[in-house]
Structure 1
Amino acid sequence: MIPYRPEPLTDFSAPHHQEAFAVALARVQEQVGQTYPLIIGGQTVDTGRYLESYNPSAKTELIGRVAKAGKPEIERALRCAQEAFAIWSEVPVVERASLLFKTAAILRRRKHEFSAWMLLEAGKSRAEADADTAEAIDFLEYYGRQMLALAQRADALLTPFAGEDNHMEYIPLGVGAIIPPWNFPLAIVTGMTVSAVVAGNTVLLKPASQTPVIAYKMVEALLEAGMPAGVVNFVPGDPEEIGDLLVEHADIRFISFTGSKDVGLRMNELAAKRIPGQRWIKRFVAEMGGKDAIVVDAGFDIDLAARTIVQSAFGFSGQKCSACSRVIAHASLYDPLVERVAALTRELKVGDVREMAHFTGPVIDQKAFAKVTSYIEIGKQEGRLVAGGGASADTGYFIEPTVFANVAPSSRLMQEEIFGPVVAFTKSTSFEEAIAIANQTEFGLTGSVLTHDRSHIAYARRKFHVGNLYFNRKCTGAIVGVHPFGGFNMSGTDSKAGGPDYLLLFTQPKASSELL
């Protein structure tokens, strides 16, 4: 088996890559406005009710209309998934893994095309979309290999015992609900779906309402690769109409969710309650957000720290659960660091991401625009605005990258997840105090420490309570297989997506023993 290697990113400074992407973008632009059906049991279903997906950079541009599932379609999809599970769960692991490898090849051949859809439907820049597509390919390659390894290693973990023939195997759970977010509309959708599928499960995939077209394109790729009917059932719809049904249904064995803390906590509560006819304890896998901090120690290079902060805070308009939203800087470099971050932030260009000159694009929709701009107003009361603060929703949902200084650690700006291009600075007088402030939040997803002091690195390893801790680099950009991703506290179940233990969440070990 060829070892897994992360997919390389595209260098868009090269003219031939620019030209290739322009061709793909033009091809995708010609396809906007189409209507897409549900896919249930391998059959297309048009319900006559639709989610309409618009370009957040040009809010009147319809990207696509996607059929909405209601309760009848969910019930039908569950029956199809159950029927498919009886067959798919017994398909040899090597064949299930092969499906993932074939899908990865399809995405690799059409990489710019998938990325172009993200420019239009999610408002991602070329670089951000390219990284998203690369991560989707990585999930396919990595989970396929991990499942092959898992199938081989089970018996090797057992202790030999004379007079008995003992075995252990990892078997699938059943039918699951996959409920992904909009901010990584290809990578996370792909990773959440295929991790369950390669383990032998069948699923109902309810994509985010903001980015259903990209999710449909991913399911198309799985079908092109040879996925049997009913293994993945594509059932977008209004969360208010089908969300609780998917989580509560007695026939759902597990729920895999990525999204907000409040929604995740509600799902966890619903999943924990037994429904009449339910024969199992449902498994709940969740990644629910963060309030991520970068700690800048005394003596660290100010320009390098500033560039790290700007990259971490404002890529994809800060719409990442790993984005830097808090900076805790030592008093000895606090003022010049704030000034340098403000200067770099003012240089960033915001606008329609179809223009290469724009560093970042819009927030995803009107609801996000209203939320982020309300926090900017809160920030004006809680701190000192040093850069950005402007916003316009005339043509798209554009918000300037915004920097606040002198914000108290207990303030709303330092405690609540904003999920937008806003970063707040606070001052520390010692490294120990900085780590204490960093931990002063209900979340625990990612964090970064910028320091040259080895004793401080050792201290942070012990005391900085986050699932993904980085030193002397940005706090975003986890790579599949390299940085298993998931957080503590209200950041979720620390499921470590893209890690060697992740597939265990979608399997159950079965031991058998025969007396010789």
Structure 2
Amino acid sequence: MVQPYKHEPFTDFSVEDNRNAFLQGLQTVESYLGQDYSLRIGGESISTEEKIVSYNPSNKQEIIGRVSKANRELAEKAMQAAVEAFKSWRKAKPEMRADVLFKAAAILRRRKHEFSALLTKEAGKPWREADADTAEAIDFLEFYARQMLRIKDGVPVQSRPNEYNRYDYIPLGVGIIISPWNFPLAIMAGTTVAAIVAGNTVLLKPASTTPVVAAKFVEVLEQAGLPKGVVNFVPGSGAEVGDYLVDHKDTRFISFTGSRDVGLRINERASKLNDGQIWLKRVIAEMGGKDTIVVDREADLELAAQSIVASSFGFSGQKCSACSRAVVVEDVYEQVLDRVVELTNQLTVGNPEEQGTFMGPVIDQSAFNKIIEYIEIGKQEGRLAAGGSGDSSKGYFINPTVFADLDPKSRLMQEEIFGPVVGFSKARDFDHALEIANNTEYGLTGAVITKNREHMEKAREEFHVGNLYFNRGCTGAIVGYQPFGGFNMSGTDSKAGGPDYLLLHMQAKTTSEMY
């Protein structure tokens, strides 16, 4: 009997012991700032001359760590280690593979505040956002281990007299995990462990802005008893190492989370047959969003405003699920906009190491520059209602920004900004609001704030997103509760944290025996 899955609770920081535990986590992280981290290939530590240097985005003078950088030669070595490890790992009992995840979850739970503090330092996450990231990583470990135990014996199929048929799932092979910087623990851990618990071996290439948390997580997997070569840690440049591994004849699948453009490029490269390749590569991609909160005339307007602010500015809007568009029916437009501006002006922006900070920095200089460019575009396209400025002298800080009266087809309402910027458009009525909500090339998350049951049902049917929420914000999917993934240019709708996710890393085999 598989034990029921329980979501890892978020930490209550109003409790003094919990506050002290987080501060202790920060001290622990500060004790190892600036250290060097090696590649891990076939269980061997390999140090390279060239390093990826990870900086604190809220204090760009502070070095979090220096991580060895893989080149093509080392990527090839890692591929061979993964190919070799697959021969035995695919035959390891599913129970044993699940136990590695359960033990890793226990280690992560014991070191929860240390990992959260590392996310605060390396990714600029305020306390609550960092805590939620770590909790989600623990959830992925627990959930996917249980899912593996559920599907380990396949699913029943029909048999006839004198015939016995079985339908089993077997692993695919070697996978490339390309993980993002915005959930550098949760998504990196989730995509990695889903692949390995299903019996595959992987090469993990984390985002170059947040490689230290990935290095620390690989250490956790090894402590949990993961055999050599099952996870090979190969940070490196996308152009040099990423392309090489995506193209490799021995790559069986690519699990990618990141931007639309990179996702399309990976999909295109993966579709090409390389010399010696004997399969179609599978691509699991979660790419991006331009997510809308629709506010109906019959709505709790305070809830609407709170939901827009939390979903737009949590982690500085650097979530593919973030609300970057508020589409409000004209009868209540001014009321909702005024309250959002009021709430936005109350937000604290600053050092995420301080508990009272709501919003920290954006991730790096190029993100800062891009978001400031979009703010300038917004000033031409609409009316600046809040924010609109930034300061990158010490860290990459941008004030939460609200633009009003935007044309639904304007760049600010169509293009993914990935920063603390939300645009408002006015709708004539609920049908018009849904029409605007669906007018982007993305389809990841959306929310509808309404008390009208007919409108809810209409949105359930017509609002074309992978994750739709009623009377709440559009961020914060919980593993096992709201399986996460989107439509259209938001990716392959892989539904991370859902009942089908592991099957994307496996293939079905039918066997039939005559008696």
Scaled to the shorter chain, the TM-score interval is over 0.9
- CA contact under 8 A between 2:90 and 2:171: conserved in structure 1? yes
Residue 160 of structure 1 deviates from its aligned partner by: 2.3
The residue that corresponds to 2:68 in the other structure is 67
The residue that corresponds to 2:121 in the other structure is 120
Q: Residue 304 of structure 1 aligns to a residue in which SS?
A: helix
The residue that corresponds to 2:80 in the other structure is 79
- Structure 2, gaps ≥5 residues long: none
Q: Residue 268 of structure 1 aligns to a residue in which SS?
A: helix
For residues 44 and 402 of structure 2, what CA distance do their matches in structure 1 show?
Answer: 50
For residues 453 and 167 of structure 2, what CA distance do their matches in structure 1 show?
Answer: 44
Segments of 4+ in structure 1 off by > 3 A?
none
The residue that corresponds to 1:510 in the other structure is 509
Q: Name whichever of 263-272 and 16-25 sits farther off.
A: 16-25
Deviations 1:25-48 (A, max 9, x none): 111111100000000000000011
The residue that corresponds to 2:149 in the other structure is 148
Q: Residue 299 of structure 2 aligns to a residue in which SS?
A: coil
For residues 228 and 115 of structure 1, what CA distance do their matches in structure 2 show?
Answer: 26
Residue 359 of structure 1 deviates from its aligned partner by: 0.6
1:331 aligns with 2:315: no
The residue that corresponds to 2:313 in the other structure is 314
The number of residue pairs the alignment matches comes to 514
For residues 382 and 228 of structure 2, what CA distance do their matches in structure 1 show?
Answer: 55
1:52 aligns with 2:53: yes
Deviations 1:180-231 (A, max 9, x none): 1000000000000000000000000000000000001110000000000000
TM-score normalised according to structure 2 size: 0.99
1:265 aligns with 2:274: no
The residue that corresponds to 1:391 in the other structure is 390
Residue 155 of structure 1 deviates from its aligned partner by: 3.9
Residue 167 of structure 1 deviates from its aligned partner by: 1.2
Q: Which amino acid aligns with 1:445?
A: L
Residue 301 of structure 1 deviates from its aligned partner by: 2.1
Residue 169 of structure 1 deviates from its aligned partner by: 1.1
For residues 15 and 91 of structure 1, what CA distance do their matches in structure 2 show?
Answer: 44
1:292 aligns with 2:294: no
Q: Residue 251 of structure 2 aligns to a residue in which SS?
A: coil
Q: Residue 152 of structure 2 aligns to a residue in which SS?
A: helix
The residue that corresponds to 1:274 in the other structure is 273
The residue that corresponds to 1:232 in the other structure is 231
Residue 240 of structure 1 deviates from its aligned partner by: 1.8
Q: Residue 511 of structure 2 aligns to a residue in which SS?
A: strand
Q: Which amino acid aligns with 2:43?
A: G
For residues 469 and 220 of structure 2, what CA distance do their matches in structure 1 show?
Answer: 34
Q: Residue 406 of structure 2 aligns to a residue in which SS?
A: coil
For residues 96 and 191 of structure 2, what CA distance do their matches in structure 1 show?
Answer: 19
For residues 380 and 16 of structure 1, what CA distance do their matches in structure 2 show?
Answer: 46
Q: Residue 369 of structure 2 aligns to a residue in which SS?
A: helix
Residue 292 of structure 1 deviates from its aligned partner by: 0.1
Instruction: Give 1:77-226 correspondences, 5 Å limit.
Output: 77-152=78-153, 154-156=154-156, 158-226=157-225
For residues 251 and 7 of structure 2, what CA distance do their matches in structure 1 show?
Answer: 33
The residue that corresponds to 2:448 in the other structure is 449
Deviations 1:104-124 (A, max 9, x none): 000001100000000000000
Instruction: Give 1:352-431 correspondences, 5 Å limit.
Output: 352-431=351-430
Instruction: Give 1:19-58 correspondences, 5 Å limit.
Output: 19-58=20-59
Q: Residue 332 of structure 1 aligns to a residue in which SS?
A: helix
- CA contact under 8 A between 2:300 and 2:451: conserved in structure 1? no
Residue 243 of structure 1 deviates from its aligned partner by: 1.4
Q: Which amino acid aligns with 1:34?
A: Q
For residues 258 and 107 of structure 1, what CA distance do their matches in structure 2 show?
Answer: 22
For residues 497 and 222 of structure 1, what CA distance do their matches in structure 2 show?
Answer: 20
The residue that corresponds to 1:303 in the other structure is 302
Q: Which amino acid aligns with 2:234?
A: V
Q: Which amino acid aligns with 1:107?
A: L
- CA contact under 8 A between 2:303 and 2:472: conserved in structure 1? no
Q: Which amino acid aligns with 2:51?
A: Y
Q: Which amino acid aligns with 1:361?
A: G
For residues 25 and 515 of structure 1, what CA distance do their matches in structure 2 show?
Answer: 63
For residues 460 and 161 of structure 1, what CA distance do their matches in structure 2 show?
Answer: 45
For residues 304 and 166 of structure 1, what CA distance do their matches in structure 2 show?
Answer: 54
- CA contact under 8 A between 2:303 and 2:471: conserved in structure 1? no
% identical aligned pairs: 61
For residues 483 and 302 of structure 1, what CA distance do their matches in structure 2 show?
Answer: 25
Q: Residue 256 of structure 2 aligns to a residue in which SS?
A: strand
Q: Which amino acid aligns with 2:93?
A: P
- Structure 1, gaps ≥5 residues long: none
Residue 266 of structure 1 deviates from its aligned partner by: 0.4
Q: Which amino acid aligns with 2:317?
A: G
Deviations 1:329-368 (A, max 9, x none): 0111101111110010001011111111211100000000
Root mean square deviation, CA, Å: 0.6
For residues 358 and 109 of structure 1, what CA distance do their matches in structure 2 show?
Answer: 25
- CA contact under 8 A between 2:42 and 2:78: conserved in structure 1? yes
Residue 299 of structure 1 deviates from its aligned partner by: 2.5
